[in-house]
Amino acid sequence: MLITEKECRTALNRCGIPGIDYCLNPYTGCSHGCLYCYASFMKKFCNISGEWGSFVQVKVNFAERLQASLKRKKQGCVTLSSVTDPYQPVERKYKLTRSCLELLTGTDLSVNILTKSDLVLRDLDLLKKLPRVKVGLTITTLDPYVAKLLEPGAPSPERRLQALAQLAAAGIRTWIFIAPVVPGIADTRENLSSIIRKAAAAGVHEIDYDPLNFYPAAVSNLREMFKKHWPRQRPVFEAACREPYYYKQHLHSLADELLAQYGYE
C-alpha cells in the first residue's frame, strides 16, 4: 500500500447525496480495496499510476481547511465520507477524521458517518458530544469468506456488528448500509434476512440498501471473481448485468418485505 501526503485547497464541500448538504473526505483512495468500489473515478485526480485500492493520499492540512470553512456558520448535514472511508487503517496514525469531529462538536451541523471499520469506536468520546450524529457501517454479507474476497482490506462483518452494538449501547443512533447488493451473492433471501436479523439484535436503528451500480470497473472485477469462486452464481450476475431494471425490481420487493418483518421501514 502506497501512502503519500499532500495538501488540499478545500475540506468542507457541497454534496449531491439526498439529505446530505456537505461532505468531508480527508483521504483520497482507500486501502480496503473493495472490488465494487464506485469511487474509482477519483483516480484521475491523483496523478498516481498504481491501481485503485493500492494507494492512499493523506490530506495533511485537512483539519486546517475545515476550521477555516467553519468560521462562517454552517447549517445542515455533513457526511464522513462520500468517496473514501474515514476510518481506514491510516486514520490510526493521522487522526484526520478525529480532528474533524473535534471541530464539528462546536457547530450546528448534524453529522452522518459511514464506514466499514470498527475503528470508529475509538472516537466514542467525541460522538457522545455531538447532539445530532448517526453512525453507519456498511455490511454486504455476513459470510467472512465472501466478505474477504469482496472487501479484502476491511474488518470482518462480525467486528462491524460488534461495533454497532457498542455504539447503540452508548446511545449513538446507528444504521446499516447493505451496499452494494451484489447479484447472485448478496441479493438472496438468506443473506438479506441474516443481516437484518443481526442488525435488530445489535440494536441498529435504521437499515438502508443500494443495488449494485454497474460501473465497468466494478463489473469487470466482480465478473472475474464469479468465474473463479462462484461459477454457479455467475448466470444470476450476468442476467442482472443484462437486465438491471428487473434485478432492481426483484431486490426492492424482497428487501422491503424482509425489512417490514423486522419492523424497519
Q: What is the pLDDT of residue 114?
A: 98
- Count Cα atoms within 13 angstroms, Cβ side, for 98: 14
Q: What is the percent of the chain where pLDDT is above 70?
A: 99
Q: Fill in the DSSP letter of residue 182.
A: -
Task: Say whether pLDDT at 122 is over 80.
Answer: yes
pLDDT at residue 228, as a whole number: 96
Q: Which amino acid is at 32?
A: H
Question: What are the chain's domains?
Answer: 2-261 (3.80.30.10)
127, 137, 115: which is closest to 30 by C-alpha?
115
In this model, does residue 48 exceed pLDDT 90?
no
| Res 120 pLDDT > 90 | yes
pLDDT at position 41 over 80: no
Better pLDDT: 110 or 81: 110
pLDDT digits (tens, 9 = 90+) for 191-245: 999 999 999 999 999 999 999 999 998 999 999 999 999 999 999 999 999 999 9
52 has pLDDT over 80: no
Mean pLDDT across the chain: 94
Q: Which helix (H) or strand (E) holds 83?
A: none
Summarize pLDDT for 125-158 with one digit per residue, the tens: 999 999 899 999 999 999 999 999 999 999 999 9
Average pLDDT over residues 92-100: 98
Contact 122, 135 (CB under 8 A): no
* Cell numbers standing for residue 262: 423486522
pLDDT confidence bin for 97, thresholds 50/70/90: very high
Q: Coil, strand or helix: which one is 102?
A: helix
pLDDT for 53 equals 74
Give the whole-number percent of the chain exceeding pLDDT 90. 87
In three-state form (DSSP H/G/I as H, E/B as E, the rest C), the secondary structure along the chain is CEEEEECCCCCCEECCCCCCCEEECCEEECCCCCCCCHHHHHHHHCCCCCCCCCEEEEECCHHHHHHHHCCCCCCCEEEECCCCCCCCCCHHHHCHHHHHHHHHCCCCCEEEEEECCHHHHHHHHHHCCCCCEEEEEECCCCCHHHHHHHCCCCCCHHHHHHHHHHHHHCCCEEEEEEEEECCCCCCCHHHHHHHHHHHHHCCCCEEEEEECCCCHHHHHHHHHHHHHHCCCCHHHHHHHHHCHHHHHHHHHHHHHHHHHHCCCC
